[in-house]
Amino acid sequence: MSESEFDIIKTYFTHIGESPDWLDTGIGDDAAILHTHPQEQLLISIDTLNAGVHFADDTPPENIAYKALAVNISDIAAMGGQPTWFTLALSLPEVDHGWLKNFCSGLLEVATKYNLKLIGGDTTRGPLSITIQIAGVIPNGKALCRSGAKPGDDIYVTGTLGDAAAGLILQQQHLKKYNSQQQILIDSLRRPSPRVDVGRALRELATACIDVSDGLASDLGHILEASSTGENRLGAELNLTLIPLSESLQQSGLGLDMQNELALQGGDDYELCFTAPPSEQTAIETISQQADCRISKIGTTILEPGLFIIDKGQRKAIMKKGFDHFGAA
Amino acid sequence: MSESEFDIIKTYFTHIGESPDWLDTGIGDDAAILHTHPQEQLLISIDTLNAGVHFADDTPPENIAYKALAVNISDIAAMGGQPTWFTLALSLPEVDHGWLKNFCSGLLEVATKYNLKLIGGDTTRGPLSITIQIAGVIPNGKALCRSGAKPGDDIYVTGTLGDAAAGLILQQQHLKKYNSQQQILIDSLRRPSPRVDVGRALRELATACIDVSDGLASDLGHILEASSTGENRLGAELNLTLIPLSESLQQSGLGLDMQNELALQGGDDYELCFTAPPSEQTAIETISQQADCRISKIGTTILEPGLFIIDKGQRKAIMKKGFDHFGAA
């Protein structure tokens, strides 16, 4: 290990993303220097992925990078923001140039796709760990918070749910080969597609928004909790048949009950879950068409605490099981 | 381990730092929301400390937190900036409430001392690792970069050098008890004092500035490298007797040659090293008095590449040994 930290940063990280006009000094000094616009607020989020916890040790490095950046972008998308820059703290057990090259190609792919600039970083020796701090911008006062849902709002989700959780099950089976539907599920886990365009379009429409990282039940629960005020405890009633399942999940060989369980409780989908008054339904259908993104109305918020699901005419309370980083040990 | 990530953040991290007027939404949503001032630029830096690499496994958690935040503050100080907010990504092998309580007390101590607000975080399971992303502000165009040194500038350092490196040697001896001078050296290693006030005061005076994290020779080398242009390769001539050594280091029992070696090559001091034209000497002496911080003129920049030291009338070239995170394995 003869490479210095300085060389690694220079070789691999200075070129990630186009140099934007707001970046006055990028990588190479004690801090990056940038300016902001007075009509915009900054959105700031940080997320870590650790080997063996958030991804399997044998995950290809380009997929690790892809996911590490994508999950951060998803946080900005959930606020209705435009992701703009990120910093990277990378701990590596050793300097492996093949690994770094592939890691950077994944990072570059996402940064280019979402027009993001890497403005600073730190590489250190340690167990494999990737921390990304992301920033986005949003016009003043337009951010979508978790706290704005009102009783009687419709509840929507983008895309389909449960795919990443099914991909995780498949990945843990260590099959030698995946068919095309299985590969789609695996890709959902490894290369999530944050919904930046939909999030931006929802700025004027949604009352609350979150990204589905820990599972629909858990994340919708955060909206209900944050939107409850005083004695007005907010709950939700979902219609099971309206929860969107992908063709890949339906053809996965998993039973229908398991498919529904994964869609309700599985994490890592990085779809958006949001609430909006019924009057916005047509506008939301237009957003769905313009962004070429399925958006499903799955239920409504109610003035009764708890999460209920309508299944074959029966109303059942469901528990929030969502992924807990510490509980999962 | 029954605590959820959400509970940990709520219990330990929401109260770190006073709520400032620029923070519109803090911890608790997908991203923090803040606004900035059009007459200011943002300074952004990120640093990781890993157990067993950057600190000994038995380091008290309050000291780990103290150092993790202080080294990030030092990067902002080196740019002449005012530190304002930070995010924290904390990987923990398990939830240990005693550890978390002490970690937070160290974090709170530094955040309060430097008036910093924790605006977001992520806690995950994994080998103990602390990543802090810090932001500071600076009036437009006033940042101190590494790249502005001119031939004939004086070279200065704040405080004394080599103390943290001596503290590391002491710490590795695992003595049962330290005397008061030894304790000062250990504290220099564990609880560095970033020079925010001096950095701010230097905005109008210094031509280049860096914080001494990897060792004077290495970090001054970064200034010389960044300030060299075309065929004008910048070097430096230092006077060994002017390198400031603390009373604690001089009484440490280490030989004088070792003391000098630590002052030139030892890392982790987090003092500022900066250059300024000779005409600013009086102004710099005033800053030293006002900030109650020793500032020593140790040499000058020259139009000859390399780092030279004058020792008993002899001029010797010195190598940059500085700490290399990957080379140190």
pTM value is 0.92
Residue B230: its pLDDT value, please?
86
Q: Is residue B329 domain-resident?
A: no
With bands split at pLDDT 50, 70 and 90, how would you rate the model's confidence at A58?
confident
CB of B34 within 8 Å of a chain A CB? The answer is yes
Q: Is the pLDDT of residue B328 over 50?
A: no
Whole-angstrom CA distances from A187 to A210, A250, A269, B61, B105 are 22, 16, 11, 39, 42
Residue B321: its pLDDT value, please?
65
Residues B284, B198: one domain? yes
Of A48, A125, A146, the CB nearest to B53: A125
Q: For chain B, what is the domain count?
A: 2
How distant is the Cα of A97 from the closest Cα of chain B, in angstroms?
13
Contact present, B86 and B27 (Cβ < 8 Å): no
Task: Tally Cβ neighbours within 10 Å of residue A250.
Answer: 14
Instruction: Compute the distance between CA of residue B279 and CA of residue B276 in angstroms, rounded to an integer.
Output: 8
Are B31 and A136 within 8 A, CB to CB?
yes
Poorest-confidence range of A26-30, A230-234, B190-194? A26-30
What domain range includes position B108? 5-139
Phi, psi of A128 (to 5 degrees): -55, 120
Final residue before a domain boundary, out of A76, A105, A139: A139
Residue B329: its pLDDT value, please?
32
Whole-angstrom CA distances from A92 to A2, A132, B323, B328 are 14, 15, 17, 13
On average, the pLDDT of chain A sits at: 92
pLDDT in tens, B29-42: 889 888 888 899 99
Q: How many CA atoms lie within 13 A of B243 on its CB side?
A: 25
What tokens does A86 get?
């990120």
Separation of CA A282 from chain center: 26
Residues A226, A113: one domain? no
Residues in chain B: 329
The bridge status of strand B208-211 relative to strand B117-125 is unpaired
Whole-angstrom CA distances from A108 to A12, A68, A105, B90 are 10, 12, 5, 25
Residues B103, B241: one domain? no
Residues A217, A302: one domain? yes
In a mutagenesis test of the A interface, which of B131, B147, B223, B319 is the best target, namely the one with the most A β-carbons within 10 Å? B131
Q: For residue A251, what are the β-bridge partners?
A: none
With bands split at pLDDT 50, 70 and 90, how would you rate the model's confidence at B270?
very high
Are B325 and A147 within 8 A, CB to CB?
no
Q: Is the pLDDT of residue B237 over 70?
A: yes
Residues B15, B158: one domain? no
The bridge status of strand A208-211 relative to strand A272-276 is antiparallel
With bands split at pLDDT 50, 70 and 90, how would you rate the model's confidence at B212?
very high
pLDDT in tens, A105-156: 999 999 999 999 999 989 999 999 999 999 999 999 999 999 999 999 999 9
Residues B162, B135: one domain? no
The alpha-helical segments, DSSP class H, found in chain A are 5-8, 61-78, 97-113, 163-172, 180-190, 196-201, 216-227, 247-250, 256-265, 281-290
Q: For residue B25, what are the β-bridge partners?
A: B33
DSSP of A180-215: HHHHHHHHHHHS----HHHHHHGGGT-SEEEE-SS-
Residues A304, A160: one domain? yes
Q: Is residue A323 domain-resident?
A: no
Are A79 and B42 within 8 A, CB to CB?
no
Final residue before a domain boundary, out of A139, A172, A205: A139
Contact present, B300 and B153 (Cβ < 8 Å): yes
Q: Is residue A207 domain-resident?
A: yes
Are A37 and B38 within 8 A, CB to CB?
yes
Residues B294, B191: one domain? yes
Residues A167, A125: one domain? no
Nearest CA in chain A to B75: A30
Q: Is the pLDDT of residue A2 over 80?
A: no
Are A79 and B29 within 8 A, CB to CB?
yes
pLDDT in tens, A36-47: 888 999 999 999
CB of B226 within 8 Å of a chain A CB? The answer is yes
Amino acid, res. A139: P
On average, the pLDDT of chain B sits at: 92
CB of B136 within 8 Å of a chain A CB? The answer is yes
pLDDT in tens, B92-147: 999 999 999 999 999 999 999 999 999 998 999 999 999 999 999 999 999 999 99
Contact present, B109 and B62 (Cβ < 8 Å): yes
Q: Is the pLDDT of residue B323 over 60?
A: no
Residue B2: its pLDDT value, please?
35
Q: Which A-chain residues 174-203 have CB contacts (< 8 A) with chain B? A: none
pLDDT in tens, A183-239: 999 999 999 999 999 999 999 999 999 999 999 999 999 999 999 998 889 999 999
Are A89 and B119 within 8 A, CB to CB?
no
Q: Is residue A322 domain-resident?
A: no
Of A5, A31, A133, the CB nearest to B326: A5
With bands split at pLDDT 50, 70 and 90, how would you rate the model's confidence at B13?
confident
pLDDT in tens, B54-70: 998 888 999 999 999 99
CB of B93 within 8 Å of a chain A CB? The answer is no
Nearest CA in chain B to A135: B31
Which residue in the block uniquely carries the two structure tokens 């892809």?
A66
CB of A39 within 8 Å of a chain B CB? The answer is no
Q: Which B-chain residues 47-86 have CB contacts (< 8 A) with chain A? A: 47-54, 75-76, 78-79, 81, 85
Are A79 and B145 within 8 A, CB to CB?
no
Q: Is residue A324 domain-resident?
A: no
Q: Which A-chain residues 269-308 have CB contacts (< 8 A) with chain B? A: none
Q: Which residue has the higher pLDDT, A4 or A90?
A: A90
Nearest CA in chain B to A122: B47
Poorest-confidence range of A24-33, A71-80, A257-266? A24-33
Q: Is residue B289 domain-resident?
A: yes
User: Helices (H), strands (E): how many in chain B?
Assistant: 10, 13
Which has the closest alpha carbon to A46: A165, A167, A130? A130
- Look up the CATH number of the domain holding residue B178: 3.90.650.10
Residues A176, A300: one domain? yes
Q: Which residues contact A300 (CB under 8 A, 6 or more apart)?
A: A152, A153, A154, A155, A236, A237
Residues A233, A265: one domain? yes
Final residue before a domain boundary, out of A139, A172, A187: A139
The interface predicted TM-score of the complex, written ipTM, equals: 0.89
Residues B184, B160: one domain? yes
CB of B119 within 8 Å of a chain A CB? The answer is yes
Are A127 and B24 within 8 A, CB to CB?
no
Q: Is residue B328 domain-resident?
A: no
With bands split at pLDDT 50, 70 and 90, how would you rate the model's confidence at B5?
low
Q: Rounded to a whole number, what is the largest CA-CA distance in chain B?
A: 67
Q: Is residue A326 domain-resident?
A: no
Contacts of A76 in chain B (CB under 8 A): 30-31
CB of B140 within 8 Å of a chain A CB? The answer is yes
Nearest CA in chain B to A83: B31
Q: Is B119 exposed, middle or buried (0-12, 13-18, 19+ CB in 10 A)?
A: buried
Dihedral sign (CA A93, A99, A102, A108) = positive
User: What is the DSSP code (8-state) at residue A173?
Assistant: T
- Look up the CATH number of the domain holding residue A61: 3.30.1330.10
